[in-house]
């Protein structure tokens, strides 16, 4: 049994690396995806702001056009009230309309100014977002390049480990023990073995009954931790 445990520990050593490399191979595309999401959200925020800025500028243009039309109307009224022979009643009516036009123009100018400052603010934010997107895109491209390289490295490493594992697994471990080990490896996150140290399983840190420790010392059978089921070994 001691030989089996030694062989299992050799296997565990390789499998630990395999699990680590596999976790890396899972993590890399996920992280890439997350970083891509950030860029997509940034681009969405930019598009929204571009739309708002465009709308605001269109409204400002409308107000400017309307104001310019009203100013023409004002000049025409002033001209007419000055040059034509108008009686007092007509003059009063002209003046009344001129005052109304002036008020409308003044209100429109206020509205226009407040829209201009709103548009300026939106465009300032837009520029900041565009700068951020440019920076983040550069970082992303660099990261993406690294991911490609790291993935290739990890895959090569994995192939190497799997070849090494095949050699180890074929050497002197009984099929039922190997099955048990393989199942535990999957269910215990890549750690199928645990050292027993001072009657405590080092896999789950729970103490085990003395009789199990005695059975382990006899080296006649595979002994599992009653709590985490890992195969126990001791030096």
Stretch that binds Zn ion, among 53-61, 112-120, 123-131, 204-212 (CB under 5 A): 204-212
Q: Which residue bears the tokens 């009516």? A: 93
- Residues 182-201 close enough to bind Zn ion by CB under 5 A: 201
Stretch that binds Zn ion, among 59-67, 94-102, 118-126, 227-235 (CB under 5 A): 227-235
# binding residues, Zn ion (CB under 5 A): 6
CB of 175 to Zn ion, least distance (A): 24
191: nearest Cα among 203, 199, 201? 203
Stretch that binds Zn ion, among 32-40, 93-101, 119-127, 218-226 (CB under 5 A): 218-226
CB burial string 102-132: b at 16+ within 10 A, e below: eeebeebeeebeebeeebeebbeebeebeee
CB of 194 to Zn ion, least distance (A): 5
Q: Should residue 204 be labelled a site residue for Zn ion when binding is judged by CB under 5 A?
A: yes
Alpha helices in 84-169 (DSSP H): 88-169
177: nearest Cα among 167, 185, 189, 165? 185
233, β-bridge pairs: 195
Q: What is the C-alpha to C-alpha distance for residues 44 and 21, in angstroms, rounded to an integer?
A: 35
- Please tell me the number of Cα atoms within 13 Å of 122 on its side-chain side: 19
Q: What is the C-alpha to C-alpha distance for residues 192 and 184, in angstroms, rounded to an integer?
A: 5
CB of 181 to Zn ion, least distance (A): 15
Q: Which residues contact 91 (CB under 8 A, 6 or more apart)?
A: 81
CB of 209 to Zn ion, least distance (A): 12
Site map (CB under 5 A) of Zn ion, residues 49-68, x = contact: --------------------
Q: Should residue 227 be labelled a site residue for Zn ion when binding is judged by CB under 5 A?
A: yes
Of 109 and 191, CB closest to Zn ion:
191
| Sole binder of Zn ion in the list 203, 222, 223, 231 (CB under 5 A) | 203
Stretch that binds Zn ion, among 94-102, 130-138, 179-187, 217-225 (CB under 5 A): 217-225
Q: Look up residue 201 and give its DSSP letter.
A: E
Stretch that binds Zn ion, among 9-17, 29-37, 157-165, 225-233 (CB under 5 A): 225-233
CB of 186 to Zn ion, least distance (A): 16
Give the binding site for Zn ion (CB under 5 A): 201, 203-204, 225, 227-228
């Amino acid at each position: 049994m001691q030989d089996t445990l030694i062989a299992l520990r050799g296997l565990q050593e390789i499998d630990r690396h395999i699990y680590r490399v596999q976790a890396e191979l899972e993590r890399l595309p996920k992280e890439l995806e997350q970083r891509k999401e950030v860029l997509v959200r940034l681009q969405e925020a930019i598009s929204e702001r571009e739309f708002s800025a465009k709308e605001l500028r269109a409204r400002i243009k409308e107000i400017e056009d309307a104001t310019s039309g009203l100013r023409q109307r004002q000049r025409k009224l002033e001209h007419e009230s000055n040059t034509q022979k108008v009686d007092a009643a007509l003059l009063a009516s002209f003046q009344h309309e001129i005052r109304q036009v002036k008020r409308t123009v003044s209100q429109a100018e206020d509205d226009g100014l407040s829209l201009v400052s709103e548009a300026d603010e939106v465009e300032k934010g837009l520029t900041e977002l565009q700068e951020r997107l440019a920076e983040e895109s550069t970082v992303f491209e660099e990261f993406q390049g690294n991911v490609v390289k790291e993935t290739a490295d990890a895959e090569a490493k994995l192939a190497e480990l799997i070849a090494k594992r095949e050699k180890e697994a074929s050497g002197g471990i009984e099929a039922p023990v190997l099955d048990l080990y393989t199942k535990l490896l999957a269910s215990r996150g890549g750690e199928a073995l645990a050292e027993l140290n001072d009657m405590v399983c080092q896999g789950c840190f729970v103490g085990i009954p003395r009789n199990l420790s005695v059975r382990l010392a006899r080296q006649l059978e595979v002994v599992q931790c009653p709590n985490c089921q890992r195969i126990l070994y001791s030096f």
